[in-house]
A and B are shown apart, each in its own frame.
Chain A
Amino acid sequence: MRIEIVNGQIIDPMNEVNVQGNLYIAEGEIVGVGSAPEGFVAQHRVDAQGQVVCPGFIDLSTRLREPGQTHKATILSETRAAASAGFTSLCIPPDTNPVIDTPAVLELIKDKAEQCAYAHIYPVAALTKKLAGKELSSMFALKQAGCVAVSHAQEAIHDLLVLRRAMEYAATHDLLLMYSPQEQALSNQGCAHEGAMASRYGLPGIPVAAETIALMQCIELIEQTGCRVHFRGLSCARSVVLIAKAKQLGLPVTADVAMHQLHLTDEDMQPYDSHYYVLPPLRSVQDRSTLIAAVQSGAIDSICSDHQPHNIDAKLGAFPETEPGISSLETVLPLLLRLVEQGAIELSQGIAKLSSEPARILGINSGSIAIGNVADVCVFDPATEWQVNAETWQSQGRNTPYWLATMQGKVTHTIQAGKILFALQN
């Protein structure tokens, strides 16, 4: 289909484009920016007056819950939610059930996602069999089957020798490791940031050192193994220092932060409201401001949704016994715009954190809307106000601390490979 998107603010951070104008799409590709190619006749026209036209968002960690937990969410429900929120590509962590540790499971998920056809799926394969932290997975076969990276999700690797060998083997096959640093012995089954709030509410705390020690260990092993590592979901100011230092040394490291970590802190936690229970936990105000500064300076490369939809029961109970995670795809854009509004980040830089940067981290040819690229496009109206409620929400998981909050900024069109996957109904 030939599509023209007219009168929008075209922002393509990868090519430092930020102009008012039109975008032309044909045969699934971008064929014109500014002026139409000769003889272009549009079959569909999108009026983007007052709106931003940018690359479709790429998420580095989206739980779809399928296979294994379809009572929480499905590939269909979550990819549809992703499309409504401007995402065109999603990385799927391996902690599905069964775990993504064989080409068969990987292909099953890809097939299912292709049938749903709402977003491009990049499965991330398990680093070890069953994520048990003991035996290496068949990384070569998994790479051939199409995994974009390997990861251990939130599971601990207790044996550092296993981590070392796994990193060596991943490096052998030039596979990116996505690593969520958390030393479980120090987390000690905690469920909140170890600080004044956890002490007040009597919640078992997770110290900052649980993250930084795991981070330091991994950085040392990067030096030894040469494995490329992307650190997922940093939460502490101290981690930013360690990442910056590793980058200074020229190590192949990148890092992201979940969007909610840039907004919420332990002080925002409503007493025992399980919707604020995430791992890593919401940290201190100072951690949050350091994380924001790191996003701005580039010490943190990208922003992630860390989408984790849950069924209602998962969040009903005494805080420590509930399941961690926020259903977050749909609040990513408005929360990004809040950061822009606060002056914490420029809009084009923010868009880069959701598109060109994750593409660079993954090493995929995506995240740009220059001529010749696959037409993954997001069009959003930064001024539209909407309320998070049952009518507006697409994800099957309603577990968000922002339920009933008013958000500003709404995606109006999401185009993936030249197909309109989402168009906001007025």
Chain B
Amino acid sequence: MLAIKNLQLNSSGKLKHFLSIEGLDKSLLTEVLDTAESFADISEQRVKKIPLLRGKTIVNLFFENSTRTRATFELAASRLSADVLSMNIATSATSKGESLLDTIRNLEAMQVDMFVVRHSLSGAAHFMAEHAAPHISVINAGDGQHEHPTQAMLDMFTIRRVKQQFSGLRVAIVGDILHSRVARSQIHALNILGAQEVRVIAPKTLLPAQVESLGVTVYHDLAAGLKNIDVIIMLRLQKERMNSALLPSESEYFKCFGLSDDKLKCANKDAIVMHPGPINRGVEISSSVADGPQSVILQQVTNGIAVRMAVMSMTMHSNAGTE
């Protein structure tokens, strides 16, 4: 844990890489949110560009497919006037091809300044940060089942905009916690920012071992778990989890853990509904809830750009300071 912390911060405690929420403190997370707030206005102006990262080259390195995350990272980089190169590197377990290290070395040789990396294996971003040249910042855009810290920060940003503060908030994260890097980052972020309670609601097949140790209370019943809840975060259920030994069927999952209008009524009246997307309508959430008045799902997408701009500019500036 200590090593993650040290690796992410430079000698003066500024953000050098953004690899995990774990290991960061409240003031840093708040700084990310405040910085994002200042960038949010830019997106609403007619000319959506500021020259903060002009002349910098950012490489989006996606070893795993993603549409939205990649798109918002690209937009964030271009709004900061950086040059962006996006690479989709399809990998399969059987043919690994070029090693991660060789990929890093090759791109370094092209004089880039930042890697935004998504990888199917936990620890991949951490590995890149450890081995990349000192002037390069690494931003984790999701590593295996570990963390997806920018997603968690845009969720925090969205929560703060609606609820103003975290103290006193009760948040429920519903669904596939076991395979979710988003959930891990959210749990850390909510605890660091001082939420009153973080609950996870899922069947035992979708919960990691000793999940309580992450700082959550566990529920297996959606209605009971949503009681007194201010923020509901639904997780995407990957189709491939179905018809395995993890879950019997989509319909049974929806009956137990899907967020319907009825279930939503168990939460506080002013509860907001979030989802990192893409949504499986009728599997984890009903259309009426996803498109309903309590849903902030599309705001999350919008906020993603400002938050990623904030993280990119903060890591790049702390790095410039150390040169």
Contacts and interface: CB of A to CB of B under 8 A. Distances in A.
B122 A320 contact: yes
Interface in B158-197: 181, 184
Interface stretch (A86-94, A170-178, A197-205, A325-333): A197-205
B100 A317 contact: yes
Contacts of B214: 196, 199-200
Contacts of B209: 194-196, 198-199, 205, 207
A203 B210 contact: no
Nearest to B122: A202
B152 to A, nearest CB: 13
Contacts of B181: 202
Nearest to B23: A271
Interface in A160-202: 194-196, 198-202
B126 interface: yes
Categorize the interface residue count of chain B: 20 to 34
Interface in B133-172: 143-147
Interface string B242-268: 000000000000000000000000000
A139 to B, nearest CB: 34
Contact of A318 (B3, B121, B184): B121
Interface in A373-418: none
A201 B146 contact: yes
B101 interface: yes
Contact of A203 (B99, B119, B122, B131): B122
B277 interface: no
B106 interface: no
Contact of A272 (B22, B127, B145, B210): B127
A207 B211 CA distance: 14
Interface of A is mostly: loop
A195 B3 CA distance: 20
Contacts of A316: 99-101, 131
A326 B300 CA distance: 45
Given A195-B209, A199-B210, A199-B211, A204 B123 contact: no
Interface string B93-109: 00010011100000000
A390 to B, nearest CB: 20
Nearest to B177: A199
A200 B122 contact: no
A271 B126 contact: yes
A45 B109 CA distance: 59
B124 interface: yes
A140 interface: no
B4 interface: yes
A270 interface: yes
Task: Please list the 3 inter-chain residue pairs (A to B) with the smallest Cβ-Cβ separation, ordered nearest first.
Answer: A202-B146, A272-B123, A202-B145
Given A272-B126, A318-B119, 10 more contacts: A195-B209, A196-B213, A204-B145, A270-B3, A272-B122, A317-B101, A318-B127, A318-B143, A319-B121, A319-B127
